[in-house]
Amino acid sequence: LAALGRREVASLSRLQRHQLDPIHMFLCYLGAIALNHGNRVDPAQPESFWHEVLEGLTEGNHAPWCLLVDDSKQPAFMQPPVRTDEMAKEFSPKADTPDDLDVLQTAKNHDVKTARMVHSAPEDWLYALISLQTMTGFMGAGNQGIARMNGGSGSRPCVGIITSLVMGERWMRDTPRVLAHRDSLLTPDWPYSDSGLSLLWCAPWDGSTQLAVDSLDPLFSEVARRVRLVEENHSIAALGAGCKKTRIAAKDLKGNLGDPWTPITKKTGGALTVPAAGFTPSLLRDLLLDETRYQPAAMQTLEPGDPSVWFSASVIAGGQGKTDGYHEAMIPVGRRPRFALAGGPDRDRLTRLSKWALDQAGTAQYRVLKPALFMLIEGGPEGFPDTNKTEAGHWVSHF
């Protein structure tokens, strides 16, 4: 945290691409929670400050900041404790490698394969824990998802404006904004408590007891699963236990919990769920310009002094008991469209032009190119080609 504040961190060498945004969001949340606890605003603080304030968050207990803690009645980092030794017996082997623990564990269409990290480092387990505990959806009985998504088949996107790809620069810009966003979540429109629980892995969990939203800090760092890391044969392994219920009782909120990186779908009032197709041009256009369909994420706000910016979006799309791929998009925003996106006079024109262009592209795709490809693959039958043929349809989709 101190190195991020000094802008000394360009990247994390062992971090995988799908983990980058979850780790960034987690560090911004943690930094903002700590700054609020220490009555500071500027995230450029010395190591002594971070040591003191993080110890204060856990009342002097160092266990919540350790990956391996032998006593399962004590919290470990991103690993909630149990209340009794009897509950500890519910845990059984879950993963021998960090990537087998990670949120991508059931994906079939990724270049990244599972259980390949046999020579892992402790930090690999740390990244996997954060990815799992803050991004996962429902993965079958006993494997619940996070609260910050619209149902177990939803997804937690990371949508916002970024001004630098350097990790320290990005963290220095976003952390004060997250801290300021916390104030807006302490209004009567939201159920949070100013003195609520922030580090959910510190609280004991039996897999059934749920936390009410009004008992939480607006910037709570959640945990979705009961996991404990243990040392086996001089290496680390993960144990897991089932969860009958989600950790947070927030089903009715549909994932709309004030996450500053999550757009809200106005039709449902719930968090954006990105489909298996990912960030299509039409979805990106709507997220940028159509505020009748989506309430923009707080981190999409453009600030007057921003230098060159990108509109960035990433997500691990979810399905019932599976993942539908990692998707990302990054669009450079020039000076003129930047004024339009910020509410300038050209915004309506940009909105109309983008819709017209997508309509034209749709016409070319579905009324020109698609029937022509069916005609080619079917060998040019007389009359309009049969666009309902499954075999031909696979080839058309491929091309």
Amino acid 135 reads M
What's the chain's length in residues? 399
Residue from 261, 259, 266, 260 nearest 294 by CA? 266
Q: Give the chain as a 3 state SS string.
A: CHHHHCCCCCCCCCCCHHHHHHHHHHHHHHHHHHHHHCCCCCCCCCHHHHHHHHHHHCCCCCHHHCCCCCCCCCCECCECCCCCHHHHCCCEEEECCHHHHCCCCCCCCCCCCCCCCCCCCHHHHHHHHHHHHHHCCCCCCCCCCCCCCCCCCCCCCEEEEECCCCHHHHHHHHHHHHHHHHHHCCCCCCCCCCCCEEEHHHCCCCCCCCEEHHHEEEEEECCCCEEEEEEECCEEEEEEECCCCCCEECHHHCCCCCCCCCCEECCCCEECCCCCCCCCHHHHHHHHHCCCCEECCHHHCCCCCCCCEEEEEEEEEEECCEEEEEEEEEEEECHHHHHHHCCCCCHHHHHHHHHHHHHHHHHHHHHHHHHHHHHHHCCCCCCCCCCCCHHHHHHHHHC
187 Ramachandran zone, left/alpha/beta (phi>0; psi -120 to 50): beta
Distance in angstroms (rounded) separating the CA atoms of residues 204 and 26: 21
**What is the reported pLDDT for 106?**
42
Spatial CB neighbours of 68, under 8 Å, sequence gap ≥ 6: 76, 229, 230, 231, 236
Place of tokens 């001004």: 163
- List own/partner pairs for 389-393 with CB under 8 A and 24 or more apart: none
Say if CB 193 and CB 214 are below 8 A apart.
yes
Beta strand pairing call for 309-319 and 322-333? antiparallel
For residue 333, is pLDDT > 60? yes
**What is the reported pLDDT for 340?**
81
Stretch 27-34: mean pLDDT: 98
For residue 383, is pLDDT > 80? no
Q: pLDDT tens, 31-66? A: 999 999 999 999 999 999 999 999 999 999 999 999
Phi then psi for residue 310, to 5 deg, are -125, 145
**What is the reported pLDDT for 226?**
97
**Average pLDDT of every residue of the chain:** 91
Phi then psi for residue 220, to 5 deg, are -60, 140
Distance in angstroms (rounded) separating the CA atoms of residues 49 and 38: 8
Distance in angstroms (rounded) separating the CA atoms of residues 77 and 98: 15
Stretch 283-306: mean pLDDT: 90
**What is the reported pLDDT for 336?**
80
Residue 354 pLDDT grade (very low, low, confident, very high; cuts 50, 70, 90): very high
Distance in angstroms (rounded) separating the CA atoms of residues 343 and 346: 8
pLDDT higher at 346 or 263: 263
Say if CB 351 and CB 170 are below 8 A apart.
no
Phi then psi for residue 331, to 5 deg, are -115, 120
For residue 271, is pLDDT > 90? yes
**What is the reported pLDDT for 139?**
82
pLDDT higher at 118 or 149: 149
Residue from 18, 19, 54, 20 nearest 37 by CA? 54
For residue 234, is pLDDT > 90? no
**What is the reported pLDDT for 109?**
44
Distance in angstroms (rounded) separating the CA atoms of residues 75 and 3: 26
**What is the reported pLDDT for 380?**
78
**What is the reported pLDDT for 114?**
53
Say if CB 128 and CB 105 are below 8 A apart.
no
Laid out side by side, the sheet with 294-295 consists of: 270-271, 264-265, 294-295
Q: pLDDT tens, 158-213? A: 999 999 999 999 999 999 999 999 999 999 999 999 999 999 999 999 999 999 99
Amino acid 169 reads E
**What is the reported pLDDT for 107?**
43
Q: pLDDT tens, 120-163? A: 899 999 999 999 999 998 888 888 999 999 987 889 999 999 99
Residue 319 pLDDT grade (very low, low, confident, very high; cuts 50, 70, 90): low
321 Ramachandran zone, left/alpha/beta (phi>0; psi -120 to 50): left
Buried b (16+ CB within 10 A) or exposed e, 38-77: beeeebebeeebbeebbeebeeeeebbeebebeebebbbb
